Chains A and B, each alone.
Chain A
Amino acid sequence: MQLDPSDARECAAALRSAAEARQTVRVRGGGTKADPDEALPGDAVLRTRGLSGVVDHVPADLTVTVRAGTLLRDVQAALAERGQFLPLDPPHGGATIGGVIAANSNGFGTLRYGAVRDLLIGTTTALTDGTLARAGGRVVKNVAGYDLNKLLVGSLGTLGVIVEATFKVLPLPATRGASVSSATDATSAFARAGAIVRTSLRPTALVVDHERGAWRLVVAAAGEQAVVDRTLREAGGDHVADPDRLLVPLRDLLAAAAEGAVVRATIPLAAQPPFAGGVSRLDGFERLVADAGTGIVHVHLRGDDATIAASTVAAIASARVLGGSARTERVAPSLRRHLAALRTEPPGHFLMRRLKDAFDPRGILEPERSLA
């Protein structure tokens, strides 16, 4: 069954009807995160693409309010007409705003601009009781009531369906640029990245890329010419005028990798060299892309199922030992069974369970994805 609400109220009503009928619901935005076989035959699929369009953009306030089914690339195009942009650069321009929030989908710009949770200032969410709950607002600073926006970021549609969102936006930078240089090993690549993190240069990307024995450091900068020039000078290496030429392939390659498994680890900054060094020696290691300013490291593993399963377990264990966490982001269906045992309950799991039960007492939303 497909649900295609055309406005927020319809969306809430559809959820309420589904809840009353105890009908499980999968939420689908751009479909960029959904695995093909994810929706089970019994599930209803709620598509948010009908909830689209920019509601309000006030350039002088540096805020934009959009309906959740709007494609990120359409939002960026609308903002660009007024010389502004939403500083989020997740993989897949085809993702919807709601999907970006629900999946907490970020790119390399986090170090400079913050992640989804830092830029999102208001939401309206359809709940399974048929109500629309607002949180935050349209002002950039707001501590009235609980910050439900934070709860929604990364909740994968398990608590409600985001129908509208307000973000902080920024003026488009005057200049952009990037550089790429090679490094001898993980230690030196991350040491150079770390040195840049400790300056006030605030690059828009700081990526350590490792594949086939080679280590590369990619640095991107945006803003005033003088600062961009200095950032790239300090980064060293070869300059590239269009940062996207370097960054988009790095970002999308892993997200799009259908073969094998992608492990996404979030680890303390100083744990990156040992982690990267360790996983690069695992069987089936294909590539590592580390956002060196935040410690979010993607690892692509390939090979037969047994190899991938063993290396995935090793990579996740290594992240945990180093004080972080990790999960598989993409994994072939045949591998899921092997990795099921890896699921652990995160700290505060019982609180997450209670939240899930409160927001979705009948458990109809995203049954397979419950974070709790």
Chain B
Amino acid sequence: MATPFVAGTRGAVLHRGLVDLLGEEQVLWQKHDLQLYEYDGAVDTATPDAVVIPRDTADVANLARFCSEHNVPLVPRGAGTGLSGGAIPVEGGVVVSFARMSRILELDAANLRAVVQPGLVNLHLSTAAAPHGLYFVPDPSSQKACTIGGNVAENSGGPHTLAYGVTTNHVTGLEIVLTDGTIVRLGGKAHESEGYDLIGLFVGSEGTLGLITEITVRLSPLPEDKRTVMAAFPTMDLASEAVSAIIASGLVPSAIELMDQLATVAVEASVGAGYPLDAGAILLAEVDGPRDGLDDHRARIEELCRANGATSIRVAETALERDRLWAGRKGAFAAMGRLAPDYYVQDGVIPRTRLPDVLRRIAEVGERYGVRIANVFHAGDGNLHPLILFDGSLGPDVLRQVKAAGVEILRACLDAGGSITGEHGVGMEKNCELPLQYGPDDLAAMLHVKRAFDPAGLANPAKIFPTPSRCREFSLHAARSV
């Protein structure tokens, strides 16, 4: 935002006011408690002035009204698994934890919908829907822990969104609370709603437009069957060629993932899925849908892999084997803890045809900065996840260097015609880089939306958009005058 935030009520006054409003049980204020809400799954930290754990929409609305009167920012938090600092209270204020609003309010199998609270864990929804033959499509790698509210805020993806879309394609209703305390219900169980698509705007707005208190999502029929193929390639280049060949063939796999050798080693130590450790790259592809023709698809994928230099191919024979292959992939980021104390993950997207060039540029960045970079990514939709490994205990300079390497990687993605983030969000991690992707006119149009929903600027401030205080080079104002 162009105007720097002026801090509102803090400390004891804030704490007393919140406790009076919501009760002792719903408010955290002691230093050692607040210190535990200063991080998420990424690398940035900031301490909140208070944490509120609401029980229901009314709590959230009361809280918002109070904060709006006292000029206090509101920062929503799901499970704190985010990878762009979305839940970090960078300007202080109240962190709103949805840990106690985690119920499925209605599982409406007849309408293929579920109405859920924002704190519900993603996988818990699919588990509950499974007896009805249904599931919730978006499957971020953190789906065992991340919340649906967080998914909506970040417009999360996952390996299997290649064929079936990301979160925004699966939300039909929202209840939101604006920062002035107004409760607005948008959409419902129908396919569309009247007027502008405010739901489409809200999904992926990273908490900067208001707080989500209820979500209606689409449930999809579970695939009748699946085939999962793992192929090992001597080099990442050959594996990328295989991905292009699969896409070009007209097959639409439900997922195509790639992992380089460094990542494979860590993942194998974590789950023992049987990934070959000597391969330069591992490709994981899945086709699902009606049983008819599925084996044919699998055979074509195997053929294309072999034609592009795969040295070994394994097809998951059982559900257990498939789960194990995926468990490795899904736990890949966190498995980096086995290689280094910290990692910094980027989330750039590139046109799929540019994979080999951009991966080479990433490797060059790694060499130049003297850091190890592991790659685990959604190759099917060109969504890269370079993981820069480092040891944060060596001091702030290390993190600065690592972040600089990250920016170079983002530049490589943009040069290839891509985006700085495919599913993790901009947050406070890349807000200074957003102007590299969008010009001042583009950002000005986006800010119309911000002001319409949150005129006071209290919803998750200093996220998405560059701030003059934190982005010296790229503040909105500076970018405009270029």
Interface status of B383 (Cβ within 8 A of chain A): yes
B448 touches A359 (CB 8 A): yes
A145 touches B446 (CB 8 A): yes
Chain B: residues with Cβ within 8 Å of the partner, total of 87
Tell me, in angstroms, the Cα distance from A27 to B438 when the chains sit together.
26
Stretch of A222-230, A242-250, A299-307 lying at the B interface:
A222-230
B188 touches A324 (CB 8 A): yes
Kindly report which residue of chain B lies nearest to residue A121, judged by CB atoms: B419
A63-106: which residues lie under 8 A (CB-CB) from chain B? 63, 83, 104
Tell me, in angstroms, the Cα distance from A266 to B224 when the chains sit together.
28
B223 touches A358 (CB 8 A): no
Tell me, in angstroms, the Cα distance from A206 to B220 when the chains sit together.
16
Tell me, in angstroms, the Cα distance from A110 to B192 when the chains sit together.
12
Q: Across the interface, which residues of A come within 8 angstroms of B438, CB to CB?
A: 134, 144-145
Kindly report which residue of chain A lies nearest to residue B157, judged by CB atoms: A141
Given B186, B204, B250, B418, which contacts A137 in the complex, CB threshold below 8 Å? B418
B446 touches A148 (CB 8 A): yes
Q: What 0/1 readout, one digit per residue, does chain B (146-163) give for beta carbons within 8 Å of chain A?
A: 000000001101000100
Interface status of B398 (Cβ within 8 A of chain A): no
Q: Across the interface, which residues of B come within 8 angstroms of A199, CB to CB?
A: 221, 224, 290
Given B191, B252, B292, which contacts A226 in the complex, CB threshold below 8 Å? B292
For residue B460, give the distance in angstroms from its CB to the closest CB of chain A.
13
Stretch of A211-219, A281-289, A341-349 lying at the B interface:
A341-349
Q: Across the interface, which residues of B come within 8 angstroms of A132, CB to CB?
A: 441
Q: What 0/1 readout, one digit per residue, does chain A (193-214) give for beta carbons within 8 Å of chain B?
A: 0000111111000000000000
A170 touches B252 (CB 8 A): yes
Given B108, B247, B293, which contacts A227 in the complex, CB threshold below 8 Å? B293
Given A58, A143, A224, A358, which contacts B424 in the complex, CB threshold below 8 Å? A143
Interface status of B451 (Cβ within 8 A of chain A): yes
Q: Across the interface, which residues of B come within 8 angstroms of A359, CB to CB?
A: 445, 448
Q: Across the interface, which residues of A come within 8 angstroms of B193, CB to CB?
A: 266, 325, 346-347
Kindly report which residue of chain B lies nearest to residue A356, judged by CB atoms: B196
Tell me, in angstroms, the Cα distance from A249 to B414 when the chains sit together.
45
Interface status of A7 (Cβ within 8 A of chain B): no
Q: What 0/1 readout, one digit per residue, does chain B (180-196) give for beta carbons within 8 Å of chain A?
A: 00001110111111111
Interface status of B91 (Cβ within 8 A of chain A): no
Interface status of A314 (Cβ within 8 A of chain B): no
Q: What 0/1 readout, one digit per residue, does chain A (343-372) give for beta carbons within 8 Å of chain B?
A: 000111101101100110000000000011
The answer to whether residues A348 and B186 also contact, given A60-B244, A137-B418 and a CB cut-off of 8 A, is yes
| Of listed A58, A114, A143, residue having the most chain B CB within 10 A | A143
- The 12 listed contacts between A and B (C-beta, < 8 Å) are A104-B192, A127-B445, A142-B349, A143-B204, A154-B197, A200-B221, A200-B290, A225-B293, A227-B293, A268-B108, A325-B193, A352-B196
